[in-house]
Amino acid sequence: MKILLFVLLLGIASADPQIIWLNRQSVANSPTIVNVEVGGNLYLASNDDSAQLQKITITTGTTTVSLDQLSDGKSLKILSNQLTIQSNLLDATAKKLTGYLYVTTAIQANDNTFDVKVVNGPQALNRNGDSTTTVILNTQYKDDFPSFFAPEKTTYVTEVQQFRSNPINFHYGIPGDNWKTFTDNQFFENPQPFDFYDDHGRPHTNMIFFDSVEPMQINLPYWYITAGGPFSLNMDSTFNDEPIHNTTSANTTGVYILNDVWRNPIVNFATDPTRKGYSGVLAYVDLDYSACIIFNNVIKGDANYTMCFGADNKMVHGQLSSDLVSKSLVVNATAGNPGTLYFQYFVFTGELYPITSSTQPPPSTTVTTTTAIATTTGSAGNHDAFFLILAGAFWKYLL
């Protein structure tokens, strides 16, 4: 009876998904025992030398494989709730390994909408279905003459295509066992929920879909995509060394992942000054030294939308936005390694400005929502009337 109960308990034992770094697997630490879930899948993300991978074995149940057999994104089924890792590498050799193991839960392994991709070179990702999860595991970025700003591990994402405007979200971390309900770790969302305020100051949330998504350099070891419909994109392990990015569409969105490798971004926007516009960010902020995200306004010239964060302003999934048509965006941290800042920027245009100066200026629609304290200084005054006069004058000139 006791044995049966024990077996039952073993059967339902659950464990969190795991990331296990190979640089900690040396002969001195062997064997390493990791709690995992029976029925989960194990993956290797590594472009380390296969001669070294051969010297590390993992045992699950009665199966033992060396890691070199797990390259090319092959998965291994977890057969017992403990994984044993045995390494014959000396400490100094093990420390140089860059790869890691990833273990899913059993539910994730059995979910045919859940997929895992190891990025080690160019790869096209196409997902169909109404609800999919794709985990992206990066291998080490390699370059004979790396730039000072070269990341350790990265995905360069281009050509994001969403069919029928279905939502797509990029998340940092790995999906936990509550990944379908936990939605606070997005660093990119398209569409973006956006609150517009009517004449009575009442908010109306609209979903703003961006047809244009700028190429993204996702400097994370791993991340994941949840999607509410079919999409496609291209992934590569390359680093696009681009200190200044120029957009080509007036309605567009992109991402910066600033952490160990931090270069203050500069984005020049292709603006449409004939329309009202909005600029904003979706941000995760955890800094040791202060940094500001600054949108510079094209029409008002002197007005900036500045969001400053210090070491005390931790923010998770905070959206901050303003009714500013932006000419450019800069981040102005002065410390070399200020901490972590992930942000999605978005700029889009709304209705056309009325072009007769007799029209009332539109009500101010500055929106600021945040889930944490942030020092935020938006455009306080309503300078729209000034623009109306300018636009009116311009119109007369055209006539």
Ligand X SMILES: *[C@@H]1O[C@H](CO)[C@@H](O)[C@H](O)[C@H]1NC(C)=O
Which residues between 134 and 153 bind ligand X (CB under 6 A)? none
Residue from 250, 261, 341, 347 that binds ligand X (CB under 6 A)?
250
Residue from 334, 356, 358, 360 that binds ligand X (CB under 6 A)?
334
Q: Cβ(375)–Cβ(346) under 8 Å? A: no
Give the count of residues interacting with ligand X (CB under 6 A). 19
User: Could you tell me the CA-to-CA distances from 163 to 127, 149, 166, 225, 342 in Å, in that order?
Assistant: 10, 34, 6, 15, 26
Residues 6+ apart with CB under 8 A from 298: 269, 271, 273, 325, 326, 327
Residues 6+ apart with CB under 8 A from 10: 38, 81
Residue from 64, 161, 332, 371 that binds ligand X (CB under 6 A)?
332
* Pick 168 or 303: Cβ nearer ligand X: 303
User: Could you tell me the CA-to-CA distances from 171 to 67, 113, 180, 241 in Å, in that order?
Assistant: 27, 17, 12, 23
* Pick 175 or 338: Cβ nearer ligand X: 338
Q: Cβ(20)–Cβ(137) under 8 Å? A: no
* Pick 72 or 351: Cβ nearer ligand X: 351
* Pick 175 or 350: Cβ nearer ligand X: 350
Backbone angles phi, psi at 358, to 5 degrees: -80, -15
* Pick 171 or 245: Cβ nearer ligand X: 245
* Pick 195 or 272: Cβ nearer ligand X: 272
| Contact characters 160-199, ligand X, x per CB under 6 A | ----------------------------------------
Q: Cβ(379)–Cβ(277) under 8 Å? A: no
| Contact characters 344-383, ligand X, x per CB under 6 A | ----xx----------------------------------
User: What is the smallest separation between the CB atom of 126 and ligand X, expressed in angstroms?
Assistant: 26
Stretch of 45-53, 57-65, 159-167, 330-338 lying at the interface with ligand X (CB under 6 A) = 330-338
| Contact characters 194-233, ligand X, x per CB under 6 A | ----------------------------------------
Stretch of 79-87, 155-163, 314-322, 329-337 lying at the interface with ligand X (CB under 6 A) = 329-337
* Pick 46 or 376: Cβ nearer ligand X: 376
Q: Cβ(118)–Cβ(137) under 8 Å? A: yes
**Residue carrying structure tokens 């008002």:** 300
User: What is the smallest separation between the CB atom of 388 and ligand X, expressed in angstroms?
Assistant: 19
Q: Which of 78, 79, 237, 82 is nearest to 150 (CA)?
A: 237
Question: Can residue 268 be called a binding residue for ligand X (CB under 6 A)?
Answer: yes
Sort strands 266-268 and 244-246 into parallel, antiparallel or unpaired.
parallel
Q: Cβ(70)–Cβ(44) under 8 Å? A: yes
* Pick 24 or 209: Cβ nearer ligand X: 209
Which residues between 282 and 321 bind ligand X (CB under 6 A)? 290, 292, 294, 296, 302, 304, 306
Backbone angles phi, psi at 259, to 5 degrees: -150, -110
Q: What letter represents residue 90's amino acid? A: L
Which runs of consecutive H residues, i.e. helices, occur in the chain? 2-12, 50-53, 91-95, 106-110, 384-398
User: What is the smallest separation between the CB atom of 119 and ligand X, expressed in angstroms?
Assistant: 25
* Pick 169 or 209: Cβ nearer ligand X: 209
Please tell me the distance from the alpha carbon of residue 152 to that of residue 221, in angstroms, as a whole number: 8
Q: Cβ(347)–Cβ(252) under 8 Å? A: yes
Give contact residues for ligand X (rule: CB under 6 A): 244, 246, 250-251, 268, 272, 290, 292, 294, 296, 302, 304, 306, 330, 332-334, 348-349
